Structure 1
Amino acid sequence: MKKILCVGPLIPPVHGQSLAFTRFYESVENGRKLLINTNFEHLGMTGKVIGNIKVIFLTFLKIIFFKIDKVYFTCSRSFLGSFKDVILINLAALKKIKIYNHLHGSDFYEYFHSVPLWYQKILYNSYNKVDTSIVLLDSMKEQFKDFPDMNLEIVPNFYDKELDVVFEKKDLKTINLLYLSNIIKSKGIFELLESFEVLSRKYDNIDLSIGGDFLSDEYMNKDDIKLKFLEKVKNNRKINYIGKVYGEEKIELLKKSDIFVLPSYYKSEAFPISIVEAMRCGNAIVSTNYKYLPEIVDENNGILVEPKSPESLYKGIEYLLKNKTLLKNIQTRNKIEAEEKYSLNRYTEQLHKIILSEDS
């Protein structure tokens, strides 16, 4: 039996791309798949270099010695990562293997135009050999506008299967706000803390739960973020920092919360799985007018605020606090919409139709 080679990041750690890749990989029958795991986020630079060298070696080994008819990979937007992608694409093309690329971020076009011209030509020649690229939204097709002959397919993100449970009705006596993402500056965590500080002095019936691990971004390293974050939350009894959350603890957090807040300006933000999960659990969404987020969040399922603006975030949250009937209507609508549009079964079925069907 010919096999599909899946090249991408398995969980843990859990983030949108690793969860999406893992769920697709799990959905492929065991005798049909081969794996190369590219999740090196927990490693330092030396570890990442060694990890990418290992991936390149495994790519040669598996493409040359196994009967593979399809390759599925999640494209990278860094030099080390994209270099291994280039080798994968060209080896697969040399063996006349069909190539499927899945983009989970919003920065491929930006990355492509940021590299030196000599490397841009290598990327251009390589990605022109990709048969199909999969994006999360129709507007994300623009990420590949330098490749007009590339076939593009749309598969929206999903909520995980563990959220298909019965939810209790929310009473809204206490309004529970929830931030559930990596704790990095560009996810808007400090704007949220600043706006909540003002809100918590004005409203007695609100609290804020925060779940996630500390990571670095282009603004701050994780140690500085952790110090600043812990200093800001230590004296506010209405803020509950839980740390990393998974499984039942995560479900309970999502179920008991009322408003999910993600004031992100993260450089590769596209279609956060966390927003879909929060919708499925009956949360109204407060997020930012940034990149592709306005295509997911609108007046029907939440509020959009300006990025990097604690004042705008404060006003957006307060609008929902003052309009409980609107809040209830949004919560009900979000549960239904998420179930109809963003189930895991729907996600994997769409990918199987594109990648694994006989005529693909």
Structure 2
Amino acid sequence: MMLSVGPLLPPIHGQSLAFTRFVDSIENEKKIVINTNFEDKTKQGKLIGTFKTILLIAFKATFLKYDVVYFTCSRSFLGSIKDILLINIAILRRVKIVNHLHGSDFYEFLHNSPKWYQKILFSSYNKVNTSIVLLESMKSQFKDFKNMKIIVIPNFYDKELDIKLVKKEKNRINLIYLSNIMSSKGIFELLDAFEELINTYDNIYLTIAGGYIADEFMTISEVKEKFTSKIKGNNLVRYVGKTFGEEKIKLLQRSDIFVLPTYYKSEAFPISILEAMATGNVIVTTNYKYLPDVIKEKNGVLVEPKSVESLSTGIKSVLKNVTKLREIQDYNIIESKRKYSFEKYLENLNKIVFK
């Protein structure tokens, strides 16, 4: 029996998608699931949600029967309280603990915490048997824990993306941005770069999909106001809002170049990039954190974060050679199937959690 603690869909982001797909693959009689996602994202809502989660963990981890704990670790003070509780109850129950990191900021969170809280975090995570990271270079996130086994399992794309529904258009180049509409994902740098590009190219179009999200740079209302103002009157830019399922697959399959100019603080290994590769897109993203470990020249182009000029130049380098663009598209389909299939992800994860 597995006690699993993490965020279920919705809302959708890389961590919630990965956690949901894994727990959904396990038979009901073999799992206990505690959902750490809650709808109210206000400060009060987060406090209430955290309190409810702590009560659930305290009860289920103490009184129910299970053989292994699988959880996705938090990198915030409130979120980490539940992780600490979970780890220490599991140790008292003498069960195996598997932690799965989906962000790039655990080490930063650990070392920026108050000294008294660092001691609690160090004491707790020293008891974790195994931690899973997405890339070899991400092992450094847990370099403080010498006795912890650290295993690399790359992210995945959903198998539905292998279904061929539509073909790419020959006489136009479609760019796509598929992520949350937030400042630190680089959406405004992309819009500024696109304004420059359409002065040179008359066959390029931009589709934007995603919901409005706040970050440390802008509130939701500020993001929405600025975004709406920038795309108003530009018939070469299409905003389709939040997109899921078959509609998302069609958008990706129609697109040629996937653009994610991110400098998001916890960016690690975005599933959206793998989805774009699997549907035959050239990837244009930033030389930021772990992204250079994922995207090489054979996959697309890396540009500098927060630089409209670098982003524009990077996209131009793809647009000026259509033959090379098609070669990269074909290569990305092959590589994604070989390295990032959902079946391979599940196989690897099951070996770690249940062996």
Q: TM-score range by the shorter chain?
A: over 0.9
Q: CA deviation at 1:66?
A: 1.1
| Aligned match for 2:225, one of 227, 234, 241 | 227
Residue 201 of structure 1 and its aligned partner are, at CA, apart by: 2.0
Offset, 1:167: 5.8
1:236 paired residue number: 234
Aligned to 1:44: 42
- Specify the alignment match of 1:299 in structure 2: 297
Q: Give the letter for the 1:263 counterpart.
A: P
Instruction: State which of 158, 161, 164 in structure 1 corresponds to 2:162.
Output: 164
Q: Where does residue 256 of structure 1 map in the other structure?
A: 254
Q: Of 300, 308, 311, which aligns to 1:310? A: 308
Q: Where in structure 2 are the equivalents of 1:5-20 lying within 5 Å?
A: 5-20=3-18
User: What is the aligned-residue identity percentage?
Assistant: 61
1:163-186 Cα distance to aligned partner (Å, 9 max, x none): 121265535420000000001100
CA drift at 1:5: 0.5
The answer (yes or no) to whether the contact 2:182–2:223 under 8 Å persists in 1 is yes
- Conserved 8 A contact 1:172-1:258: no
1:87-102 → structure 2 map (5 Å cutoff)? 87-102=85-100
Question: What per-residue deviation string (whole Å, max 9, x for no partner) do you get for residues 111-164 of structure 1?
Answer: 001110000000000000000000000000000011111100111000012112
Matched to 2:137, the amino acid is S
- Is the 8 Å Cα contact of residues 208 and 237 (structure 2) preserved in structure 1? yes
Taking only aligned residues, the RMSD between alpha carbons, in angstroms, comes to 1.0
Question: Secondary structure at 1:236's aligned position in 2?
Answer: coil
Comparing 209-218 and 53-62, the one that deviates more:
53-62
Match runs of 1:339-358 below 5 Å: 339-357=337-355
Q: Is the 8 A contact 2:167 2:254 kept in 1?
A: no
CA offsets per residue over residues 258-278 of structure 1, 9 Å max, x none? Answer: 000000000000000000000
- Deviation of 1:44 after TM superposition, in Å, equals 1.3
| Cα deviation code 1:174-214 (max 9, x no counterpart) | 00000000011000000000000011122110000000000
Alpha carbons 2:166, 2:250 under 8 Å: kept? no
Q: Which residue of 2 aligns with 1:136?
A: 134
Letter in 2 for 1:252: K
> Residues of 2 paired with 1:310 and 1:290: CA distance?
15
Distance 1:239 1:319, change over 3 A: same
Q: Quick one: distance in 2 between partners of 1:65 and 1:113? A: 33
CA distance in 2, matches of 1:322, 1:170: 18
Deviations 1:309-330 (A, max 9, x none): 0000000001111011110000
Describe the SS at the equivalent of 2:128.
coil
> CA–CA distance in 2 between the matches of 1:15 and 1:173?
33
- The DSSP-based 3-state class of the residue aligned with 1:291 is coil
**Does 48-57 or 120-129 show the bigger shift?**
48-57
**1:174 and 1:42, CA in 2 relative to 1: closer, same or farther beyond 3 A?**
farther
Aligned partner (choices 10, 27, 30) of residue 29 of structure 1 = 27
The gaps in structure 1 that reach 5 residues or longer are none
**Structure 2 Cα separation of the partners of residues 44 and 105 of structure 1:** 22
Q: Secondary structure at the match of 1:101?
A: strand
User: In the aligned structure 2, how far is the partner of 1:200 from the partner of 1:41?
Assistant: 39
Residue of structure 2 equivalent to 1:176: 174
Q: 2:284 touches 2:303 (CA, 8 Å); kept in 1?
A: yes
In structure 2, C-alpha distance between the alignment counterparts of 1:190 and 1:351, rounded to whole Å: 37
Moved over 4 A (4+): none
Question: What's the offset of the Cα at 1:216?
Answer: 0.5
**What amino acid maps onto 1:96 in structure 2?**
R
Contact 2:174 2:255 in 1 (8 A): yes
How far apart are residue 41 of structure 1 and its match? 5.6
Number of matched residues? 355
Aligned to 2:194: 196
Distance 1:63 1:345, change over 3 A: same
Aligned to 2:144: 146
Contact 1:213 1:243 in 2 (8 A): yes
Q: Which shows bigger deviation, 60-69 or 232-241?
A: 60-69
Q: SS at the partner of 2:198?
A: helix
TM-score normalised to structure 2 length: 0.98
The residue aligned with 1:105 is: 103
Q: Is the 8 A contact 1:104 1:136 kept in 2?
A: yes
- Offset, 1:43: 2.6
Contact 1:133/1:151 (<8 A) preserved: yes
3-state SS of paired residue (2:75): coil
